[in-house]
Amino acid sequence: MTVGETRSLRSVDSRSPAVTRAVFLLEELARQGRPVGIAELARSLDLAKSTVANLCTALEGTGMIRRVDGRWALGHKVVELGQGYLAGTDAVEEFRRTVGTLPVASRELVVLAVLDGTEVVYLARHEGLQSVRPACEVGMRMPAVVTALGKAVLASLPPGDLDDRLARVGELPVLTAQSHRTFDALRGDLDVTRERGFAVDNGEYTEGVTCVGVTVPGRVGVEAPTAVGAILLAARMTPELRAGLVADLTELAGVLSRPTRF
């Protein structure tokens, strides 16, 4: 359904197929990022057009999706639900309150993300003071295997959980010349990440952009593994700057590891 993940409707054991199909339809619209017609949705979801049409009509009535020139796009209710989730998440509030106090990281683009399957989803961002900021919006999904935040959380997983998630990656996403081509190379990177305590993305997702990521340890009551990271132009990164960012992100991760009210 998403980049780097081979999950499908047929592989999900659901006691409520209609609900599962509706969720997958919403995910597909989010992945496409544009209005999509019934026929295309039916192909992507491997469902009959009549089934997709019925799902769209039902979801339209709830405000979850809307018609755009005969096609379908996400509706306002999705935004409301997303804001409701963020409002009930202490980690986002604590992130916003703490990141501005960090001596080095406060000047950079800093993000908070959770691991969802084989992708990371960005929950919050701190703009920093740089005039040029890489694209990274709240709600955006990225393959975990090519991002520092994703590799930070993958490296922190129990071996069995890590193996299960990587088994769902049909083929590694090769987005730049720096992206890993083999799972052996990826696992070697994760071993290094585990040993040094932070992950690095040296242009694996976007040429000329680098990121350092630190996992948030032991968050009570939170199922999704979480990480924080700083994203900046690779030309600006120096050993001293990286050391300062890692120190600040480690401090931030420690603050966010405290119990929350999820």
**What's 102's domain CATH number?**
3.30.450.40
Least confident of 3-7, 85-89, 161-165, 184-188: 3-7
Summarize pLDDT for 28-44 with one digit per residue, the tens: 888 788 899 999 999 98
Q: What percent of the chain has pLDDT over 70?
A: 87
Q: Is residue 39 part of a domain?
A: yes
- At residue 149, the pLDDT reads 96
- The larger pLDDT score, comparing residue 7 to residue 140, is at 140
- At residue 233, the pLDDT reads 93
Residue finishing a domain among 78, 110, 134: 78
Q: Are residues 18 and 108 in the same domain?
A: no
Q: Is residue 4 part of a domain?
A: no
- At residue 220, the pLDDT reads 40
Q: Are residues 52 and 125 in the same domain?
A: no
Q: Are residues 117 and 47 in the same domain?
A: no
Q: Is residue 3 part of a domain?
A: no
Residue finishing a domain among 26, 44, 78: 78
Q: Are residues 132 and 41 in the same domain?
A: no
Helix, strand, coil percentages (3-state) for the chain, rounded to 5, are 45, 20, 35
Q: Are residues 98 and 216 in the same domain?
A: yes
Q: Are residues 120 and 25 in the same domain?
A: no
The full DSSP string for 165-184 is HHHT-SS----STTS--SHH
Cβ contact 87:101 at 8 Å: no
Check which CATH number belongs to the domain holding 29 and give it: 1.10.10.10
Q: Is residue 138 part of a domain?
A: yes
Residue 54 structural domain:
9-78
Whether the pTM exceeds 0.75: the reply is no
Given a cut of 90, whether residue 195 has pLDDT beyond it is yes
- At residue 178, the pLDDT reads 94
Q: For residues 164 and 256, what is the distance between their CA atoms, to the nearest angstrom?
A: 26
Q: For residues 212 and 227, what is the distance between their CA atoms, to the nearest angstrom?
A: 10
Position 5 confidence tier, pLDDT thresholds 50, 70, 90: very low
Given a cut of 50, whether residue 3 has pLDDT beyond it is no
Domains: count for the chain: 2
Q: Are residues 65 and 163 in the same domain?
A: no
- At residue 132, the pLDDT reads 72
Mean pLDDT (whole number) for 68-75: 88
Position 74 confidence tier, pLDDT thresholds 50, 70, 90: confident
Q: Are residues 14 and 100 in the same domain?
A: no
Position 223 confidence tier, pLDDT thresholds 50, 70, 90: low
Residue finishing a domain among 78, 101, 136: 78
